[in-house]
Amino acid sequence: MKWMMAKTFALLLISTLLVTACGVSTHNNNASVQTAASDGQSANTPAAQPADSSAPQTPAEPVTIEFWHSFSGELADKVTELLADFESTHPNIKVKPVAVPYDAMLQTMLSAVAAKKPPAAAQIETTLMGRLAADGALASIADLLPQDAAALSDAIIPSIRDANSYGGKLYTVPMGYNSNVLYYNKKMIEDAGLTPDDLPKTWDQLMEVSKKLTQDTNNDGKPEVYGYGFPTRAPWILEVRLWQNKAELFDEAGTKAMFDSPEAVNTFNNYLKLVDTKSTIMVSTDTAVNELTDMFAAGQIAMFEQSSTAFLGIAGKVKFDLGMSQFPTMGEQVYSLGGYNLGVFAEAPAEQQQAAAELAKWWASPEGAAKWTSLSNYMPGITAAWDTDTLKNWQSEDPRRGFASQQIPNARPRPSLPDYPEISELLADAFEASMLGKGDPGQNLQKAAGEANKILSK
């Protein structure tokens, strides 16, 4: 019973704790709820393609399905536009988009599943797919589309395939992904006598470049411009830094916390070295990422890290030439993977499940995936999407748009343990305390790991 309560509590927490690289700035939390009843392959390497969506298996009788998503404003309009394209080639399937606020999505979804009235399909956070599949809430795409399952699986970028599979079976299809990148002020880089080739690729380079970009014109010890800014409560960034240092969060069974290792302590110490340079500013409020974006737009910081899907929002705020570069690494070439899968619900009527499966197959086709990327800036999970004229033209218009695709083959998805949202807060507590000088990193991590193990043992 305690385990079930912990699992339910963890699931409910996810809706407010998952921010990653999922393009937080694109979500409007005030939007109204509308309810009803790994091999390293390059993203440009050709791979097997799913069945031709130009010959869809449309139902004999018209069927209407709901598709739940958490986008608002312009992105919600883009979803509607994409679904209209799908309907044009699937005349007997009508898709009703239903916008659910990001922070309310999970609770609304769980309530619908409990009432046996879920939508036919929905946008599923990558960290939730495994849990929903394990609980029987999702229907397997492999079972719904047995003739297409192998081709669909082969067409997915290897680093993303696992994020759509459970128990060795394809459960969902890629919807759109992102990876954290480095945003920088091009004018500040030039004024410091630097070129794009001088942008940091390693942690040591980040410290050196940050010092060169920091400006304290009156020598009062408080710079007018910091070279770099980072949030102290952003587990989705910290996780990647740990992995880059070969520090694991959990053992392979997911039953023991491992983030009190020497490698994890080294990760914290690397941040402290950066802080000691006095060329960075830390932000620890709940709205850290948005606050850093505002500071960046105001010219108070020269560089910071954020989701690749935040590009449109950041570009709309700044009045200077915006640059994007590789997410600097502390060691291994490991990058963040955030975003969404498209899932079909097991409790939906059979005819709706089949119609939703056709939507999933179409979205995971090279052209469907390419069209969504061109509309949303979320990277496709389908390798061959990059070979379409849609994406070739889209990227040639602005090379920054596809920058994250270079990192996705080496990207690693966030942990999907049901207790991880609560545990990630313990990790954030340890990091924030260490950055503020409240305790030794080793002691703080040991305490956090101990508390995490208590949670995992329930």
Quick check: 31 pLDDT over 80?
Answer: no
Task: Output the pLDDT for position 46.
Answer: 35
Per the model's pLDDT, the better-predicted residue between 337 and 319 turns out to be 319
Of residues 165, 203, 195, 439, the one with CA closest to residue 332? 203
Of residues 204, 259, 245, the one with CA closest to residue 426? 259
With beta carbons less than 8 A apart as the criterion, state whether 201 and 394 touch. no
pTM of the model: 0.76
Dihedral of alpha carbons 292, 318, 100, 136, sign: negative
Query: d(Cα 412, Cα 415) in Å, to the nearest integer?
Result: 9
Q: Which run of H or of E encompasses 154?
A: helix 149-155
Quick check: 307 pLDDT over 90?
Answer: no
Task: Output the pLDDT for position 178.
Answer: 87
Distance of CA 193 to CAs 34, 151, 166, 207, Å? 52, 50, 50, 16
Quick check: 230 pLDDT over 90?
Answer: yes
Quick check: 28 pLDDT over 70?
Answer: no
